[in-house]
Structure 1
Amino acid sequence: MIDLKGRVALITGGSRGIGRATAILFAKANADVAITYRSNDSAANLVVEEIKNMGRKAIALKGDVSKSSDVKMIVKEVLNYFGKIDILVNNAGIWTYGAIGEMPEEIWDETMNVNLKGVYLITNEVVPIMKKQRWGRIINISSTAGQRGEAFHSHYAASKGAIIAFTKSLAVELAKFNILVNCVAPGWVNTDMCAEVFKDPAFVEQVKSTIPLGRIPEPEEIAGPILFLASDLANWITGATISVNGGSVLCG
C-alpha cells in the first residue's frame, strides 16, 4: 500500500540499527536511498548492495554529521547522484554514560554535537532544496529519554528532548512549503547501541519488565512508523511525536 516510487531518501546513520532497517524498508517501498555513516565501510557497503539488489539506486557517504564541511559534502553528493532530496531521516546518534557532577565537558559536547547539532546542520542544508521542490518529509529520531528524562544519561536525554522541540518548531515554520516534520521516539531497541548493556541477562529481564508488551523490539519495528510518516498516508500529520516503545512511556 505504501509506495515511495520516485522519491529520494537521505538517512543519516544508515549503516546499522534503526537507520539500516529504515533504509532497507524504504527501498522495499521503491524509494532510492542515500545513507550516511561514520566509520564502518563494510556495513555501509552491505546496505547499499542489498538495496541495489532490489533494483533501487543507493549510495553510502562517509562523514561526521556534526561537522559542517562533511554535511555540505554529503548533501552535494546526494544531489549530484540523485538530483533531489525528498525525505530526510535524522537518525545518527550516540548514547553514553554520564553521571552529573562527574561528567566531563567533552562527553556533553560530543553528545550535543552528534545528536543535536548534526540534526540542525543537515536539516539546514536540505530544507532549501525541499522549499524549491515545495515538497518534503523530515523525520527526526528522538527517544523515550527525551520524553521522560533518563538518569545517568542526562546529556542524551537533553539532546533528544531538544529534537522534539526542534521538530515542533519546524513543523509550523515549514508547513506553507508542504514540508512535513515529525518525530519518532523509540524506547529500548535491539541495536548495536545497546549491545554492551544487553550482555547482562539480568539487565535485559529488567528492561523487559518495564515494557507492557514484554519484549525488546527489533530495528525493523521502529522503521515501520518512520516509513508511515514518509508516506502519503501521513499527509495530515506534522509536528507530531510518535512513541514507538511497546507502551513503556505513554505520552500524549
Structure 2
Amino acid sequence: MELGLRGVHVLVTGASGGIGLETTRVYLALGANLTAHYNTQDATLKPLLAEYPDRVQAIQANLANESQVIDLLSNAASQGNFGPVQIAVVNHGIWPQADEPVADMSLERWNNTIAANLTSSFLVIREYLRGLKNATPQQKEKAAVVMVGSTAGKFGEAGHADYAVTKSGMMYGLTMSLKNEIVKIAPKGRVNTVAPGWVGTPMAVEALKDPNVSYRALATTPLKKIATPTDVANQIALLSSNLISGHVTGQVVMVEGGMEGRLLNRPEDLA
C-alpha cells in the first residue's frame, strides 16, 4: 500500500534496537528519508547506513540533555539535505529492571526515569515543533508526531510506577495537548500514540522463556501471542501517513492483542 511517505524526512528516536530499528527499516522500505537517533550503540544501524547511504543518517544524542536535543534536530535538518524533520517518532525510553514498589523507590530512580522517558520526549517534540515553524507549506503537509507508549500507561505496572507514569503522561496528557497545538504551526499536523504490550524484542524473548512470565503476559490477551516489532512499526507508519490517517489525531492505538488488564493473582494467592 502506498502511504505517501516517499522523500518525507522522518526522525526515529531510539532507532538502534527493538521497535526503533524495525520502524527505521519500515520507513526506509516506504521510501522515506531517515534520521536515526541512538544514545550509545549504533552497530545495528550500520547495515542500513550501507544499504541506504543517501537516505539515512545516524546521529547520537543523550535526549535528557537539552543542548544535545537542540543539536540533534538542528543537525538532522542540515545534514544529508533532508530539510526539517516532518515526522517525529518518539520511541526511546528506559525500563528499570528492578521491581521497586513506590514505598521502596528512591527519588534518584524516580527522577532518572522521568528525565529519560518523559522530559526527553518533551524536549524532542519541542525542538521538532520549533523546526517545523521554518518548514515550507508543502513540508508541513506531512507533519505528524507518533509517540510510543505502553500498556503500563493504561493498566499501571506494580514495581514500575515510575515507568508507567511516564507512559501515561505521553499517552494522555501530552498527546491530547499537542494535537491542539501542532495545528497552530502545521494546519494538517497530527499527534497520536501507539501503546504496545509485550513485544518480541531480544530482551523480552529471554524473559518469556520463563513459563510463569509467559502465562501472565498472555492470560488476558485473546490473540494469545506476543507482538513482533513489525506489528508495532507498521502501526507507527500508518498513523504517521496523512494519506491513510489524515483525519486521525489525539488517539492512543493499543497494539496488545486485545489485552484486558494485568493478571494480579495466581491460584496460590487466592488459597
- 1:124 corresponds in structure 2 to 126
* TM-score w.r.t. length of structure 1: 0.92
Match of 2:177 among 156, 169, 172: 169
Pairing 1:188–2:198 present: yes
DSSP-derived class of the 1:203 partner: helix
Aligned identity (percent) is 32
- 1:234 corresponds in structure 2 to 245
- 1:25 corresponds in structure 2 to 26
Change (3 A) 1:192 1:109: farther
Larger radius of gyration, structure 1 or 2? 2
Letter paired with 2:133: K
Q: Any conservation in 1 of the 2:62–2:68 contact (CA below 8 Å)? A: yes
1:44 to partner: Cα distance: 2.9
Q: Distance in 2 between matches of 1:199 and 1:64?
A: 32
DSSP-derived class of the 1:248 partner: coil
1:67-78 aligned within 5 A:
67-78=65-76
Letter paired with 1:61: I
DSSP-derived class of the 1:132 partner: coil
1:215 to partner: Cα distance: 0.9
Q: Which digits, 9 at most, give the CA deviation of each residue in 1:125-164, with x for residues without a partner?
A: 1102223335211001111111121111111110000002
Q: Which ranges in structure 2 are unaligned for 5 or more consecutive residues? A: 262-271
Q: Distance in 2 between matches of 1:126 and 1:238?
A: 17
- 2:167 corresponds in structure 1 to 160
Letter paired with 2:237: L
Match of 2:226 among 205, 212, 216: 216
Pairing 1:204–2:206 present: no
Q: CA RMSD in A?
A: 1.7
DSSP-derived class of the 1:14 partner: coil
Q: Which digits, 9 at most, give the CA deviation of each residue in 1:194-243, with x for residues without a partner?
A: 35533423312331223210011110100111000111211001111111
- 1:86 corresponds in structure 2 to 86
Change (3 A) 1:208 1:225: same
Q: Distance in 1 between matches of 2:63 and 2:158?
A: 26
Q: Distance in 1 between matches of 2:165 and 2:113?
A: 9
Q: Distance in 2 between matches of 1:201 and 1:94?
A: 24
Deviates more, 1:102-111 or 1:215-224: 102-111
Q: Distance in 2 between matches of 1:218 and 1:193?
A: 13
Q: Any conservation in 1 of the 2:183–2:190 contact (CA below 8 Å)? A: yes
* TM-score w.r.t. length of structure 2: 0.86
Q: Which ranges in structure 1 are unaligned for 5 or more consecutive residues? A: none
Q: Distance in 1 between matches of 2:118 and 2:35?
A: 20
DSSP-derived class of the 2:104 partner: coil
DSSP-derived class of the 2:102 partner: coil
1:69 to partner: Cα distance: 1.6
DSSP-derived class of the 2:134 partner: helix
